[in-house]
Amino acid sequence: MRQINMNITIFGANSSIGKYLIDLFVNDNHNVTAFIDKPGSIKLPPKNINLIVGHAYDHLLVGDAIKNADVVINAFRPDFKVFKNNDNYANNISNKTIIEEMIKLNKKRFITISRAMDNNAVGKSNHLASISLNKILYKSYKKDFKCTLDILYNSNLDWTVLRVIRTLPSRKKGEYLVSTQNKVSSFVSNYNIACFLYNTSINKAFIRECVVISNK
């Protein structure tokens, strides 16, 4: 039976994925804490939302954001850099802080996003070019995210890692392919990413699994 009126904390809530997530959860009468790094970067719904402005590597703010959360979602795109001229990815930096605070506060459900970078992450040979490009462009990201995975595997969190190959800005309305065996196509829209994160939160699916999705 579906749990109702959950408390959801969304990091990177001012990203395109985060904005879609806010609408999905608020429209379903859940309570959302939206963590953003830029004031005024999102238009807030009229109900069921709390806003926190700051950086996701600030332990005090992160702890405050998740203290009442039933589900914590890191919606930072894996290719988003903290600063354009270095290799510090917001997704990796925030994952570490969020996980540490969740363990400290005895929180359980965590969902985050990563890049797919293994050759077995696709089901068709013509998608291998996308994986190879990811390996070149996101070499430092892969190394840092491996540290995140090691922490997750050794934690007691109920985590899910959504792995994406290539993202698209277009809105494909909730139709996507899911695989734990890495057999999907290359592209997925930001809206479909948000739909997967929403559905996985509501249905408590893919606990302690890495999942790949793509557009149908």
Chain position carrying tokens 């914590």:
72
User: What CATH number is given for 7-215 in this structure?
Assistant: 3.40.50.720
Q: What per-residue confidence (pLDDT) applies to 185? A: 65
Cα 39 to chain centroid, rounded: 21
Q: How many alpha carbons fall within 13 Å on the CB side of residue 157?
A: 30
Spatial distance between the Cα atoms of 195 and 190, rounded to a whole number of angstroms:
9
Q: Which residues pair with 115 in a beta bridge?
A: 164
Give per-residue burial for 142-153: e unless 16+ CB within 10 Å, then b.
bebbeebeebbe
Spatial distance between the Cα atoms of 168 and 157, rounded to a whole number of angstroms:
30
Q: What angle do CA 193, 137, 199 make, to 5 degrees?
A: 10
Q: How many alpha carbons fall within 13 Å on the CB side of residue 81?
A: 10
> DSSP assignment, residue 119?
G
Mean pLDDT by 10 residues, the chain (216 residues): 79 92 94 90 79 92 97 79 49 83 97 69 42 45 70 94 79 77 73 94 94 86
Within 10 A of 5 (CB to CB), how many other CB atoms are there?
10
Q: What per-residue confidence (pLDDT) applies to 209? A: 93
In this structure, are residues 137 and 102 in contact, taking their beta carbons and an 8 Å threshold?
Answer: no
In this structure, are residues 90 and 81 in contact, taking their beta carbons and an 8 Å threshold?
Answer: yes
